Structures are given as C-alpha cells and as structure tokens.
Structure 1
Amino acid sequence: MPARFLLDEHISPAVADLLRKDGVDGVALRDWHNGGFLSESDERILLTARSEDRTLVTFDVHSIPLVLRNLAESEIDHGGVIFISPKTIGQGDIGGMVRALARLAGTEDHASLRNRVLFLQV
C-alpha cells in the first residue's frame, strides 16, 4: 500500500491538495473526518491514523515525542511520524513540503513507515 499522509493543523491544507494532484494520498487534519479530530489528543490522532494506514506529518517536535515514547512503552504501534524541521523546510514553504513528501512517497510505502520516526529531507 502506498504511503498515506495525515498533515497536522500547523501545515497548510494546500499541501494536501497539491499532494493529491500529484497522485499522493494526503489529507489535512482539518479535513480528516470533517475536522472532528482538531480538538483530539495527539495519542488519539496517532492511533486513529494507524488504523487508517496514515503517517502523521508534523512540525510538533515538542509534544509528539512524549506520546511516541508512551506508545512504545505500552507496546502500541503507530502509523509513523514524519517531523518537519523549520530549519530545513519553512512552514510557509508549501512547494518544498509537497516536493519532499512526494519524493518520500515514491520511495516508501505505508508498511515501511509504520512505527518509524523520521525527519523530512529536502
């Protein structure tokens, strides 16, 4: 199964739109389940994303690592997390995010991203 991305609320929905135009399955958190997860915990988002074979894409290097550690300690799988560093790709660099995610989708499938944590490369 190809990589499927869930873009957190700090990433412009335009990234998801452009990914889909490139044939990559990407959805913005605000559109996922009609925005029903915008106020949900990071853990619930990660677990639901896993159940739908989605990998979370986020700039949140502060709270997500703690959630990942708790999941690992409880031996609970997740669909993978791709961190974006603003030092590498700025939050406003929509084209840069689309190119990097499309390139990653061309080299990784969902199974290879499951339980992995990586930083998006330019």
Structure 2
Amino acid sequence: MPVAAIADYDDNNIFARILRGEIPNKTVYEDQWALAFHDINPQAPVHVLVIPKGRYVSWADFSKQASTEEVAGFVRAVGTVGEMLGLEAPGYRLLANAGLDAHQEVPHLHVHIFGGRKLGPMLVRRTEG
C-alpha cells in the first residue's frame, strides 16, 4: 500500500481504526499520547507496535506537526514499553519504516519493538560486483 503524502493522512488506515476501537488489538500499553499492541504477524518472539494517537504519517510529519508534549510523550511511551516487556537488559531493536523504499505498509507513524532473542545484523550486507 503506498504511503500518503504528509497532508494526506488516511483516516481509514488500520491503525486509525484501531485507535477508534473499530478493530480489536492486544494492548500492551496506553496513555494519552500512544498506544502499544502486539503485532498480528510477529517477526520475533516479542514484536510490539507503538503508535502515536495523533494523525501522523511519518517521522517528518510528526516532527513538524506534533506538539512538544506529544513528541515527548510518544518517545517516553516507546521506552516505557521496552522496559515493561523486560527487554532493557537483554536488548531490543526499534524500527520505524518511512516511505515506500523502506516498505512502510501503514500510513500512520509507528515504531516496531523487536526482542526476545538475538536479532542479528540489521540489514543484509551486499557485496558489490
């Protein structure tokens, strides 16, 4: 699914629908700024998504449009969730895809939290040749 331009937030994307309570989720954490829930197609033993409650497509959109309180609240929520899940000591990975080349599938800013095992290198290294 193509990601909309910053001004083109899709109010019917799956995360917007989850925020409105139209689609159930397995909530891990919620506060006034963010919602965290288990991914329906986990890529690691622990795979949780953290989304801001505002209508933001990407980090660029969020950093330009969100209030200082929203930014701080969202960043704190991501850290809180990692700690709540017991991932702080063994380690975990945060991933936020932005745009088509990064394979962002839902046009709502979100951070993936991966953990529960050694995750290996972040990207497959390709040799030139």
**Bin for the TM-score computed over the shorter chain:** 0.3 to 0.5
TM (norm. structure 2) is 0.31
TM (norm. structure 1) is 0.32
Structure number with larger C-alpha Rg: 2
